[in-house]
């Protein structure tokens, strides 16, 4: 029985890491929440839980939803890629993925790997293992089922598949029943089920569900499959052992195949199911032309090919190879197993998934409400530039094309149309600056300056195209054109903290704090944007320098310095950086406030941008973070949380204390503090913070953490919440990219720069060193770092191929070269200059 007690010592674990295979192995199905994985790497995507729940979409989870999923359903996570097994001798049936039938399994094991999941189990002497994945470059998913008879007698079995189709537009599908109950259409031909709702009119795409085995029957009408008043846990067709051959007309189109076979003792049978998406050319939709039957001339060969075991095997091999190659950009061997597996496997994987999905598809993001976030995707670039430079380049150009001529940016765009989302609009005044940060990350990784000359329109209007470099200038200018009474940047609707809505003053329930009209002449200012501006302007100065624009570079630097001065004059509260000034000029995040006295974001961002490092403000601010915001579960966003609603502050005070922006451990911001700590030379503090939110390090408290132990979550409830330590909103979060940057570029210190690779680790003193392999601009760096005296400071001596170099910056190597890098950290070699080494 797998759903019973766990062995002692593993009291809170639901599985374990298999680092060798890059898998997390879940050993009981009833995880505290569904623990999911992602299928698909380029256009066809899906989520899959550890019990096969989830759904798929093509490019856009709102506009091209392939299968239906009911969020917030009971029981949790019902609806997915289901297979039912039935013993035809006794009539007993069960789910080899435990859900939805939930009959006890004799063994159960789910392996979430890199873009694939396998779920294996046994019951009544029948072993079943299903592999789910999307082959690279295809618009289909494979479910490969292997059933083995482990009895010593023959077994007569039935297999039923089940996938419920979504009528494409997920929002409409979940709301517009007066129409939708009448539109559903399917076809069945050659053993394949085709879902073709609206194909007769303006759509040229359809879905299909095919099976490799001869069918004993099928159903395409959900209600015929389930039977009246029944759920996925006891479909009538399965109970009866017989499909009804139903053809859906309206109501709910569904796909189910019935395969029947006999297995001798020890015999295994493989059954392949394909669920796919296909687009026909506009002039070749129908066969015969003009008759509303799908022309299958193009899709059928694809189906036939992927129903062959060799093709599936080969596709799966290619998927694994492609991930192995992607992850080979960086490999580290540190004394910390949690850091190793996160850096080498799970964190880059989460970075890719987050980049691909932006904030659209997870168990917490319904795929309907948020498309591609401007600031979100710009930050995601930091996590994937090294692994997927081509994708990064394309995304930068897409994002920039939604920028407005004012330099402002649409807050979100829809992935299918790539048009800015009018419903949410613009006016989040930090947005444009993140474009500079994203482009800088891309340039540092690739050196591809040609991107700066790419012609990119504003607001998707081709006649307005200017070189990308000019977009960056406008981003910079946008801030300077909008300064407030203290000379700090105006916040607009919000800055990074979407919920700090200082110009909103909303009294109407349900009104969006972000899109509602702001008070006229919104005067609120953001210290955070000031910090981000300094960071971005400095990056832009370096980029201008690279283009030989010394004048521009000087101007950007001068403005950065000026803004840093404003922050020190008006943004400093005495012991930490203030957060903002509200519409009436009152400070937010100040010792003067009763609630929300200290906020985390400006401490991280201002120190990251270098403000106050020289004069000790930075160290003081970080000491205040340690004193007021740090907890054993990570660093909280603010203290004390708001206990009542402040209409002058907006959504932030709408959350109960300790949740979300109102004082949770907002994981996205934690790495900024880790980076800041490395900048003042404190590797112990930096790595300490890193470990507190490292999901692998939290695996041992899975009952408290509750989300997946292999990926970061957006938030962990803060100490003021009753559920202190509980994570929420796993997977799609800027936490992925920023933690990857903090650990790899700052703590381990392997940092791409415009003209070479810097190796400048700031390690925890417990470490005697580490080794790493990094591919960078065509060369391979074999890095060994030694910290024999266990100091928490930074590198004092660096050798490249045995020769000492000046500082920690390695000039560019020849493509194809291997560079041996040795780094020493230690007190006996004193460091002449540079950023401060000690702290407090």
Where does this chain bind ligand GLC (CB under 6 A)?
359, 373, 375-376, 496-499, 513-514, 651, 660-661, 714, 733
Helix intervals (H) in 724-823:
735-740
Helix (H) or strand (E) holding 150: none
Q: Looking at beta carbons, which residue is closest to ligand GLC?
A: 498
Helix (H) and strand (E) counts in the chain? 20, 42
CA gap 716, 733 in Å, rounded: 13
Strands 779-786 and 769-776: antiparallel
* 319 or 737: CB nearest ligand GLC: 737
Cβ 714 to ligand GLC shortest distance, Å = 5
* 606 or 813: CB nearest ligand GLC: 606
Cβ 360 to ligand GLC shortest distance, Å = 11
Q: Which two tokens stand for residue 624?
A: 């205040």
CA gap 411, 401 in Å, rounded: 13
The catalytic residue positions are 498
Cβ 710 to ligand GLC shortest distance, Å = 19
- Coil, strand or helix at 798: strand
CA-wise closest residue to 736 among 379, 330, 339, 385: 379
* Chain mean position to CA 158: 38
DSSP 8-state secondary structure symbol assigned to residue 4? S
First to last CA, the chain: 55
CA gap 675, 603 in Å, rounded: 11
- Coil, strand or helix at 603: helix
Residue 735 to residues 376, 525, 727, 732: CA-CA distances in angstroms? 10, 25, 13, 8
* 44 or 355: CB nearest ligand GLC: 355
* 322 or 516: CB nearest ligand GLC: 516
* 163 or 637: CB nearest ligand GLC: 637
CA gap 738, 744 in Å, rounded: 10
Contact between 341 and 19 under an 8 Å Cβ cutoff? The reply is yes
Cβ 370 to ligand GLC shortest distance, Å = 7
Largest CA distance in the chain: 84
Strands 779-786 and 818-824: parallel
Cβ 417 to ligand GLC shortest distance, Å = 20
Edge-to-edge order in the sheet of strand 330-333: 330-333, 769-776, 779-786, 818-824, 797-800, 803-805
DSSP structure string for 322-340: HHHHHHTTEEEE-S-HHHH
Cβ 733 to ligand GLC shortest distance, Å = 6
Q: Which two tokens stand for residue 167?
A: 């009528």
* 280 or 735: CB nearest ligand GLC: 735
Cβ 261 to ligand GLC shortest distance, Å = 48
Cβ 792 to ligand GLC shortest distance, Å = 31
Q: Which two tokens stand for residue 124?
A: 């009544």
* Chain mean position to CA 360: 9
Helix intervals (H) in 247-328:
299-306, 309-327
| Burial class of residue 138, CB neighbours in 10 A (0-12, 13-18, 19+) | buried
Cβ 107 to ligand GLC shortest distance, Å = 39
């Amino acid at each position: 029985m797998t759903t019973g007690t766990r062995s002692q010592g593993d009291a809170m674990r639901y599985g374990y890491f298999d680092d060798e295979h890059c898998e997390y192995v879940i050993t009981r199905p009833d995880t505290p929440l569904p623990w999911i994985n992602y299928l698909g790497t380029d256009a066809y995507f899906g989520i899959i839980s550890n019990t096969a729940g989830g759904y798929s979409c093509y490019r856009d989870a709102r506009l091209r939803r392939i299968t239906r999923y009911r969020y917030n359903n009971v029981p949790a996570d019902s609806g997915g890629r289901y297979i039912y097994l039935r013993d035809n001798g006794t009539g007993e049936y069960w789910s080899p993925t435990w859900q939805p039938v939930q009959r006890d399994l004799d063994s159960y094991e789910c392996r979430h790997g890199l873009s694939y999941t396998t779920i294996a189990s046994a019951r009544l002497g029948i072993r079943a293992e299903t592999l789910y994945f999307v082959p690279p470059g295809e618009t289909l998913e494979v479910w490969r089922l292997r059933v083995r008879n482990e009895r010593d007698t023959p077994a007569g079995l039935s297999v039923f598949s089940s996938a419920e189709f979504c009528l494409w537009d997920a929002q409409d599908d979940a709301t517009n029943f007066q129409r939708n109950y009448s539109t559903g259409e399917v076809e069945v031909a050659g053993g394949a089920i085709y879902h073709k709702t609206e194909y007769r009119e303006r759509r040229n795409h359809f879905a299909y569900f095919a099976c490799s085995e001869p069918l004993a029957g099928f159903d395409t009408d959900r209600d015929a499959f389930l039977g009246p008043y029944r759920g996925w846990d006891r479909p009538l067709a399965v109970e009866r052992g017989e499909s009804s051959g139903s053809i859906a007309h309206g109501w709910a189109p569904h796909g189910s195949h019935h395969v029947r076979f006999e297995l001798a003792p020890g015999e295994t049978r493989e059954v392949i199911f394909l669920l796919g998406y296909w687009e026909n050319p506009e002039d070749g939709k129908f066969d015969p032309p003009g008759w509303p039957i799908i022309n299958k001339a193009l899709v059928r060969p694809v189906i036939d090919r992927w129903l062959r075991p060799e093709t599936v095997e080969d596709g799966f091999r290619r998927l694994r190879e492609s991930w192995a190659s992607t992850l080979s950009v960086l490999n580290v061997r540190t004394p910390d197993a949690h850091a190793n597996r996160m850096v080498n496997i799970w964190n880059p994987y989460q970075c890719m998934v987050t980049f691909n999905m932006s904030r659209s598809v997870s168990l917490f993001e319904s795929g309907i409400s948020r498309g591609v976030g401007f600031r979100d995707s710009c930050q995601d670039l930091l996590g994937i530039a090294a692994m997927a430079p081509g994708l990064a380049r394309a995304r930068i150009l897409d994002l920039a094309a939604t920028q407005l001529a004012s330099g402002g940016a649409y807050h979100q765009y829809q992935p299918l149309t790539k048009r800015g989302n009018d419903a949410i609009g613009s006016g989040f005044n930090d947005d444009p600056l993140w474009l500079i940060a994203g482009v800088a990350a891309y340039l540092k990784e690739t050196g591809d300056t040609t991107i700066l000359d790419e012609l990119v329109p504003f607001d998707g209007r081709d006649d307005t195209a200017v070189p990308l470099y000019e977009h960056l200038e406008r981003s910079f200018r946008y801030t300077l054109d909008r300064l407030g009474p203290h000379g700090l940047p105006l916040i607009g609707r919000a800055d990074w903290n979407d919920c700090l809505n200082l110009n909103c003053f909303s009294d109407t329930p349900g009104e969006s704090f972000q899109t509602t009209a702001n008070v006229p002449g919104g005067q609120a200012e953001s210290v955070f944007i000031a910090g981000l501006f300094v960071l971005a302007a400095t990056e832009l100065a370096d980029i201008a320098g690279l283009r030989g624009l010394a004048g521009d570079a000087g101007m950007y630097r001068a403005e950065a310095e000026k803004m840093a001065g404003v922050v020190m004059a008006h943004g400093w509260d005495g012991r930490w950086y203030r957060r903002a000034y509200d519409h009436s000029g009152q400070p937010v995040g100040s010792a003067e406030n009763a609630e929300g006295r200290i906020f985390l974001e400006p401490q991280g961002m201002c120190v990251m941008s270098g403000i106050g490092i020289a004069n000790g403000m930075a160290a003081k601010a970080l000491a205040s973070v340690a004193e007021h915001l740090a907890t054993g579960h990570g660093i909280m966003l603010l203290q004390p949380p708001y206990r009542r609603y402040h209409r002058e502050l907006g959504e932030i005070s709408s959350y109960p204390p300790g949740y979300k922006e109102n004082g949770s451990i907002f994981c996205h911001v934690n790495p900024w503090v880790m980076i800041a700590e490395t900048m003042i030379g404190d590797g112990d503090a930096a790595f300490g913070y890193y470990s507190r939110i490292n999901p692998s390090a939290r695996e041992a408290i899975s009952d408290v953490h509750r989300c997946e132990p292999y990926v970061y979550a957006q938030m962990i409830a803060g100490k003021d919440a009753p559920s202190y330590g509980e994570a929420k909103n796993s997977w799609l979060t800027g936490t992925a990219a920023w933690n990857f940057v903090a650990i790899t570029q700052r703590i381990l210190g392997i940092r791409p720069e415009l003209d070479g690779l810097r190796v400048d680790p700031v390690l925890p003193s417990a470490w005697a060193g580490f080794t790493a392999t990094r591919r960078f601009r065509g060369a391979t760096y074999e890095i060994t770092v030694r910290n024999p005296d266990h100091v928490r400071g930074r590198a004092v001596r660096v050798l490249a191929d045995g020769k000492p170099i000046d500082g920690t910056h390695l000039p560019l190597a020849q493509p194809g070269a291997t560079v041996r890098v040795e780094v020493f950290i230690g007190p006996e070699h004193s460091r002449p200059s540079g950023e401060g080494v000690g702290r407090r």
